[in-house]
């Protein structure tokens, strides 16, 4: 069971300010979700083949074709931030 105190602790870990009223509401909603999972656990699934997706998933790939790229000056015309023929981006450490 998820208590108001657990919700407040999770909020503290996530650095999210949760007041007492919100903590009560979230605890109630999270417990409702857990109760629903409990109902799903009771369903008889013997003989049911496991599935990963409810519907068939098919990837659609385009043909890999070599094409001429845009001219460098045309691409760099879209930015004010350029240096020595390249996009200039902030340094990342």
Q: Can you say how many angstroms the Cα of residue 41 is from the centroid of all Cα atoms in its chain?
A: 25
pLDDT, residue 32, reads 96
How far is 33 from 30, CA to CA, in rounded Å?
Answer: 5
Domain boundaries, the chain: 4-41
**Residue 5 CB partners (closer than 8 Å, separation 6+):** 23
Token pair belonging to 37: 């999972």
Instruction: Indicate yes or no: pTM above 0.75.
Output: no
CA distances from 86 to 10, 75, 79, 91 (A): 44, 10, 10, 14
Question: Could you list the mean pLDDT of each consecutive 10-residue stretch along the chain, which spans 93 residues?
Answer: 94 94 95 94 89 80 90 91 90 82
Q: Which class is domain 4-41?
A: mainly alpha
């Amino acid at each position: 069971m998820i208590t108001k105190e657990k919700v407040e602790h999770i909020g503290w870990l996530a650095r999210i300010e949760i007041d007492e009223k919100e903590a009560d509401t979230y605890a109630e909603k999270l417990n409702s979700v857990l109760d629903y999972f409990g109902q799903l656990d009771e369903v008889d699934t013997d003989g049911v083949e496991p599935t990963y997706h409810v519907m068939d998933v098919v990837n659609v790939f385009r043909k890999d074709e070599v094409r001429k790229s845009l001219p460098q000056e045309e691409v760099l015309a879209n930015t004010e931030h350029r240096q020595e023929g390249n996009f200039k981006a902030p340094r990342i450490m």
